[in-house]
Structures are given as structure tokens and as C-alpha cells.
């Protein structure tokens, strides 16, 4: 589903070069739920952003759903990003001036051929699934953190993406809300979605089928999750 081959990422400023990613190769198969763990600054977010085509690698190749992404121009990449990838962020990234349902609909407005009424229907069904039907006309500031993240999950799913990339999706949540979010992600995975997730927490990683450990820009250990 997603393959990274010899990815490197160097951030250059006038004073220094940072090798944020140093020759990382990995493959995530369709239907897998994989987590990436590792200390702060080891390159987890950078790697996820590269995998999600939000950031360009300095070197290496990305193969997404059989397509070598490096062969595409910016427009082609944007189109793949919008159709095949769903993002979930630690700080939700909801748009504060839009209602919850309008936030969920937003990714569909970049698509041709999806009518407004179809979009509304789809968003309503997803908000129902994440338990937010009663809050869909509220604004993000009127929701709790856990509710905002559930809205963000509905938004990530609205385009029916092939793969979900989640960067510390429970990082801003208490343990009860974290468990709820993980339960939702597990349900999504059980229904066939491929998920690659960054987390700091052993407890959260325990919900996933495979754990990759990162240190200093490379993957040091890749292990099947023994507790599953």
C-alpha cells in the first residue's frame, strides 16, 4: 500500500544541516495498523509528512498504491493526497470559523462531481459513526478535545482514503478520550483501512499490529506487536 525507499530529509539553515531522516525504508501493507515510536526530535513527524506528501524528501522514493509518487508534478501529488490519504493531527487542525459538519465536508469540496447534498449525507453518516450527530452544527471551540478529534477522524474518512496517517492523535487527550479515539481507529482498521500512526505512548502503540522504533532519523527496530 505504502512503500518508502531510502528516504532522507535534510533541513538546511545558514548555520547547520539537520539529517531529520537518514535512509529510512519501510513498507506498510494494505489493512495493516502500524505505529511509529521514538524520542522527541527523532524524525517521526517529518517521516509522516513525507509519507503523506505534505513535505518533499531530500532523497528516496515513495510508492503509494503502486504509483511512484516522485514521477508526479505538484498537481498530481495534490490530487493523490486528496484522494488516497486521510490525515489526523495531534492538535486536530479544524477550521474554527466553520461548523463541525462544514469541517468534515471540506475535503470533498476540492473534488469534482460530488454534489453538496451527497457531501452532507456522507458527513452526517460519519459524524453519526463517531458519535457527534448532536454536535454537528456547533463550532470547534464549543467542543471538547476528544470531540474535536472525533470530528477530525470523520473529516479524514470523508474522502474514503486508502490510508490514514495520524501524528500523535491522542497527544492532547486524557486517557479516557485516548481510549475512545483508539477504539475508533481500531474499528476503522477492522473495516479495512490501513493506518500509520505516530505515538509517544506504549499503551497507545499496544493497540497496533506492528511497532517501528525510530532513533536519530532511522528505524532501529521493527517488531510485531506481541500483545495482540
Q: Which of 26, 38, 45, 80 binds Mg ion (CB under 5 A)?
A: 45
Q: Name the one residue in this structure whose C-alpha cell is 476540492.
A: 110
Q: Which of 7, 28, 45, 185 binds ligand ATP (CB under 6 A)?
A: 45
Q: 133: which DSSP letter?
A: G
Tell me which of ligand ATP, Mg ion, none is bound by residue 18, counting a contact when its beta carbon lies within the kind-specific cut-off of 5 to 8 angstroms. ligand ATP
Asked if 197 touches ligand ATP (CB under 6 A), the answer is: no
- Distance (Å, whole) CA 132 – CA 7: 39
Q: 198: which strand partners?
A: 36, 167
Nearest approach, Cβ of residue 36 and ligand ATP (Å): 9
Tell me which of ligand ATP, Mg ion, none is bound by residue 110, counting a contact when its beta carbon lies within the kind-specific cut-off of 5 to 8 angstroms. none
- Distance (Å, whole) CA 73 – CA 205: 35
Sheet holding 218-224, edge to edge: 85-89, 163-167, 194-198, 33-37, 210-215, 218-224
3-state secondary structure of 154: helix
Stretch that binds Mg ion, among 22-30, 43-51, 56-64, 175-183 (CB under 5 A): 43-51
Residue 99 or 178: the one with the smaller Cβ distance to ligand ATP is: 178
Residues in 11-30 that interact with ligand ATP by CB under 6 A = 11, 18, 20
**Full 3-state SS string of 57-100:** CCEEEEEECCEEHHHCCHHHHHHHHHHHEEEEECCCCCCCCCCH
Tell me which of Mg ion, ligand ATP, none is bound by residue 43, counting a contact when its beta carbon lies within the kind-specific cut-off of 5 to 8 angstroms. ligand ATP
Asked if 215 touches ligand ATP (CB under 6 A), the answer is: no
Asked if 41 touches ligand ATP (CB under 6 A), the answer is: yes
In angstroms, the Cα distances linking 46 to 68, 106, 194 are: 19, 25, 19
Asked if 103 touches Mg ion (CB under 5 A), the answer is: no
Residue 41 or 76: the one with the smaller Cβ distance to Mg ion is: 41
Residue 101 or 173: the one with the smaller Cβ distance to Mg ion is: 173
Asked if 46 touches ligand ATP (CB under 6 A), the answer is: yes
C-alpha count within 13 angstroms, C-beta hemisphere, residue 60:
24
* Angle at alpha carbon of residue 139, lines to 137 and 145, rounded to 5°: 115
Residues in 145-184 that interact with ligand ATP by CB under 6 A = none
Nearest approach, Cβ of residue 34 and ligand ATP (Å): 16
* Residues near ligand ATP (CB under 6 A): 11, 18, 20, 40-46
Amino acid at each position: 500500500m505504502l512503500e518508502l525507499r531510502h528516504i532522507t530529509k535534510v533541513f538546511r539553515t545558514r548555520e547547520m544541516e539537520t539529517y531529520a531522516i537518514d535512509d529510512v525504508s519501510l513498507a506498510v501493507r494494505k489493512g495493516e495498523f502500524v505505529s511509529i515510536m521514538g524520542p522527541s526530535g527523532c524524525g517521526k513527524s517529518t517521516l509522516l509528512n513525507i509519507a503523506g506528501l505534505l513535505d518533499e524528501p531530500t532523497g528516496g522514493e515513495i510508492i503509494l498504491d503502486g504509483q511512484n509518487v516522485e514521477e508526479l508534478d505538484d498537481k498530481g501529488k495534490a490530487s493523490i493526497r486528496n484522494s488516497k490519504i486521510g490525515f489526523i493531527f495531534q492538535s486536530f487542525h479544524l477550521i474554527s470559523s466553520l461548523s463541525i459538519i462544514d469541517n468534515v465536508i471540506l475535503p470533498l469540496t476540492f473534488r469534482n462531481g460530488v454534489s453538496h447534498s451527497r457531501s452532507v449525507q456522507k458527513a452526517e453518516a460519519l459524524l453519526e459513526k463517531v458519535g457527534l450527530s448532536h454536535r454537528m452544527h456547533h463550532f470547534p471551540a464549543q467542543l471538547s478535545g476528544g470531540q474535536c478529534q472525533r470530528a477530525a477522524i470523520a473529516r479524514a474518512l470523508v474522502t474514503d482514503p486508502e490510508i490514514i496517517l495520524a501524528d500523535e492523535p491522542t497527544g492532547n487527550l486524557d486517557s479516557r478520550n485516548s481510549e475512545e479515539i483508539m477504539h475508533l481507529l481500531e474499528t476503522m482498521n477492522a473495516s479495512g483501512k490501513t493506518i500509520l500512526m505516530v505515538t509517544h505512548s506504549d499503551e497507545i502503540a499496544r493497540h497496533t499490529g506492528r511497532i517501528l522504533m525510530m532513533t536519530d532519523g532511522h528505524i532501529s527496530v521493527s517488531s510485531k506487536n506481541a500483545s495482540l
